[in-house]
Amino acid sequence: PREANLSFLEDLDEEQRRAVVESEGRCIVIAGPGSGKTRVITYKIAYLLANGVDPSRILLVTFTRAAAREMVERAKAVTGRELSEMLAGTFHHVCNHFLRKYAPYVGLERNYSILDREDAESLMRHARSKYLERKSKEERKNFPQPSVLMAIYSYMKNTLKSLRESIVVKNPKFLDLKEEISEIFDLYEQEKRSQNVVDYEDLLFYAYRLFEENKEIRDREAERFLWILVDEFQDTNYVQYKIVEHLSSKHGNILAVGDDAQSIYSFRGARYENVEDFIRVPGTKIFKIQTNYRSTESIVKFINAMLPRKSVPKELKPVKKDGMKPVVVKTWDRYEEARFVSQRILELIEEGFKPEEIAVLYRSHSHSLELQMELVRSRIDFRVLSGPRFTESAHVKDVLSFLRIVQNPRDKSAWLRAAKLFYGIGDRTASKIADLASAYVEEGLDPFQELKKVSFSGEYSRFIDILDQIRKLDSPGEMIERVLSSFYSEYLEARYPDFREREMDLERLVEIASRYTSLESFLTDLAVTENVEIEREISQKEGKVTLTTVHQAKGLEWRVVFVISVNPGDFPNYFAISEGNLDEEERIFYVAITRAKEQLYISYQVTGTSYPYRGNRFIMRSGENFIDRIPLELVEFWEVK
Ligand code: ATP
Ligand code: MG
C-alpha cells in the first residue's frame, strides 16, 4: 500500500518534507548550511520511485564522485531498490555518458580518451614549445608558462567567454600576447584532435555544443529525463548551467539544491549568479529550509547576523538550544594568536573534547605556519587537509634552495633546484655545477669565488652572481628578500597563474625568517616542522586536530572551530580589498563560521606586516575588517594577555 511506501517521509521535518513532496517543475531549495540539503535530494529520489518513476528517468548531478556515490547509497537504503539505471555522478561523468553516445556529432571518435589535468598540461606545454620554436630567444623568455595557459584556457571553456576576457581575468599582463596565445590554443586543439583525446573542459564543452547545435538529440535526451536533481548548485559554472537547462527542456522538472551564500568557487568559473538566473525564470518555485541541525542557538544567531550582504535573505532556526556564544579573540600578532589557539586546544582536550572534533580554519595555507610550529611545540597532534603544505610547495622550496646552498654548498639537490630556475640551464649543466661546487669545497676553496671563474651556457653567470650577493648578507630574512628582488618575483609572475598568492606565501616566509639571526637554525626549524607534519599526514585523523583552508572545509562540521587570521589583508585577502571585490570573501567567511557545532573562536591580530611586503616594516593593521561587522551582543570578546 502507498501509505507504507511513504513512511520514510517521517525522517524529515515539515519544510524538508514540503521540498520533497511539493517540488514539481522548476524548483530550487535555498537552504542554509547544515539544514539537510543532501537529505532532501536523497528523499526526493525515494519519493519519485515510490510514485512509480523509473530510476532511468532520473538524472542526479553532484560535484564529487564520492558525494554522488554516497547519495545513491542513501537513496538505495531508503527505497530498498537497485538504482543502477539512474544516471548519477559528476558533471564530467554525465557529459562523458552523452559524448560516448554521440561522439561523431561533435567530430569525435567514440573511443576518445580523456586527459587528466597533468596530461593536458603537458600537451599544452608541447603545443607551446612547438609554437615558440619559430620565435627568437627574447620573445620566448617571458612567455606565459603552460600552467598559466591552462588556467586561461580552462576559464575560457568553462565560462564561454572570449579569449580576450579570459586573459583579462587571469592576468591582463599577457593581453599583448593574445594572438600568440590564440595560435597556441589552436595547436593544442589540433593536437588533441589528431590524438583523439579530450580534456575535462572538452567533456563539458562538447556536451554543451551537442545539445546546443543538435535539436534532435537534445529533444531525445530531454525526453528521457523526467527529473533532474542538482546538488551544490551555487558552484556550477555557465556551461554546466546551460547543460541542465537543455536536459530539462522537455519536462521542466529540476530540483536544484544550493546555498547562494556558500558559493566560493568563482575562480574556477563558478557563478553564483546562476542561482539568481534560475530564480528569475517565471514559475520557479523556491523552497526555504530554515532549520539548522548543526549548530547551537548562539552560533546560529551569529551565522544569521553574518549572512553575506549580497545573498538571498534567509534566517536559520536552531534546533540545538543555547550553547556558548562565539568568541572573538584579539591578539597582538601571529605568534600570540598561535599560542592562544594551542593553549585553548589543550584546555579543550583537558575538558574531554577529542582532537578530531576540533578544527582550525584559515583563508590561506600560509597563515598556518606559526600555528603548525606552535602545535608541534605543544605536542598537539594535527593533520593538514590536502593541498600542498606550505614548506612543500614549489615556490617555497625554490627560494629555500638558495639558502641551503649558502648554508651547505655541497647540497646537490639544492643546486639542481636553484640552477634550473635560470634560463638556459638544464639538468646536465645544473648537475655539473653542483659537482664542481662540491669539488671546490673538498679542495678547501671558496666555491662561490671559483664558480665565478668558469662559464656555462644560459644565465649561468647571473645565477652565480645572485648567489654571491646572497651569501654576503647577514640574516635569512634579508637573503630571501634578495632572492625575490633579484629575479624570483618576476619568474613567478611568468610561470604561475596564482603568482600573487605565492608571492604572499614568500612574504610570509620573510616574516618568519626575520625572527632568526642564524641561517642554520632557521633552516633546521623549518625542516623539522615539515618532517613532523609529513608523519602526521600519512597517519589517521583520529586523535588529530584538523587544519584546513575554508575551501576544503566545505560541507564538513566539527564540535569546535577556530577561524584564525581574520585580519584585513589575510581574511579578507589583500587583493580582494584592493580590488574592492569583497563579496566572495564574505561568502568564504560565512562558510567558515557555519562549520561549528558547539564552539566557535574567531581570532585576529592587531599588528602584522604590510602587504605587499615592504621590507621588514611593522604596521598596525587597517582596512576592510570582518570583525567590525560583528554585532557586539552576539559574541564574547577575549583579549589575550
Ligand atoms: P552543508 O551546507 O554544510 O553542506 P547540508 O545542508 O548539506 O549542509 P546535510 O549534510 O544534509 O546538510 O545535513 C547536516 C546535518 O544535519 C547532518 O548531520 C544530518 O544528519 C542532519 N539533519 C538534517 N536533517 C535532519 C532532520 N530532519 N533531523 C535530524 N537531523 C537532520
Ligand atoms: Mg551538503
In this prediction the pTM is 0.70
35 annotated ligand-binding residue: yes
Nearest CA to ligand 1 atom 2: 33
The pLDDT score that the predictor gives to residue 352 is 97
Question: Which of 193-197, 217-221, 340-344, 420-424 shows the lowest mean pLDDT across its residues?
Answer: 193-197
Nearest CA to ligand 1 atom 23: 36
390, 402, 413, 415: which is closest to 526 by C-alpha?
390
Out of 109-118, 463-472, 528-537, the most confident range is: 463-472
- Stretch 401-406: mean pLDDT: 92
- Stretch 361-390: mean pLDDT: 82
The pLDDT score that the predictor gives to residue 108 is 85
Comparing 195 with 334, the larger pLDDT belongs to 334
Question: Which of 16-25, 90-99, 340-349 shows the lowest mean pLDDT across its residues?
Answer: 90-99
pLDDT at residue 465 is higher than 60: yes
d(CA 24, CA 406): 69
Mean pLDDT rounded to a whole number for the chain: 87
pLDDT-derived band at 539, boundaries 50, 70, 90: very low
The pLDDT score that the predictor gives to residue 574 is 80
d(CA 163, CA 153): 8
32 annotated ligand-binding residue: yes
d(CA 357, CA 545): 7
pLDDT at residue 475 is higher than 50: yes
Out of 118-127, 457-466, 548-557, the most confident range is: 457-466
pLDDT-derived band at 25, boundaries 50, 70, 90: very high
Burial class (CB in 10 A: 0-12, 13-18, 19+), 562: buried
Q: What is the grid cell recorded at 157? A: 571553456
- Stretch 29-53: mean pLDDT: 92
d(CA 571, CA 626): 8
DSSP 8-state symbol, 315: -
- Stretch 492-509: mean pLDDT: 82
34 annotated ligand-binding residue: yes
Question: What are the pocket residues of ligand 1 if the criterion is a CB atom closer than 6 Å to any ligand atom?
Answer: 12-13, 16, 31, 33-39, 259, 293-294, 555
Residue that the C-alpha cell 603548525 belongs to: 372
pLDDT per position as a tens digit, 570-620 = 898 887 877 777 899 999 999 999 999 999 999 999 887 655 444 445 555
pLDDT-derived band at 141, boundaries 50, 70, 90: confident
pLDDT at residue 485 is higher than 90: yes
DSSP 8-state symbol, 517: S
Nearest CA to ligand 1 atom 26: 12
pLDDT at residue 105 is higher than 70: yes
pLDDT per position as a tens digit, 549-574 = 898 787 788 999 999 999 988 898 88
pLDDT-derived band at 4, boundaries 50, 70, 90: very low
pLDDT per position as a tens digit, 212-239 = 999 999 999 999 999 999 998 988 999 9
Element (H, E) at 218: helix 215-224
Which residue out of 9, 15, 35 has the highest number of ligand 1 atoms within 8 Å of its CB and is therefore the one to mutate? 35
Beta-carbon contacts of residue 19 (< 8 Å; ≥ 6 apart): 27, 29, 40, 44, 255, 287, 289
Is the interface score ipTM higher than 0.85?
A: yes
Nearest CA to ligand 1 atom 8: 34
- Stretch 446-453: mean pLDDT: 95
372, 410, 364: which is closest to 611 by C-alpha?
364
Q: What percent of the chain has pLDDT over 70?
A: 91
Which residue out of 45, 293, 357 has the highest number of ligand 1 atoms within 8 Å of its CB and is therefore the one to mutate? 293
The H-assigned helical ranges of 51-177 are 65-79, 91-102, 117-132, 137-141, 146-159, 163-170
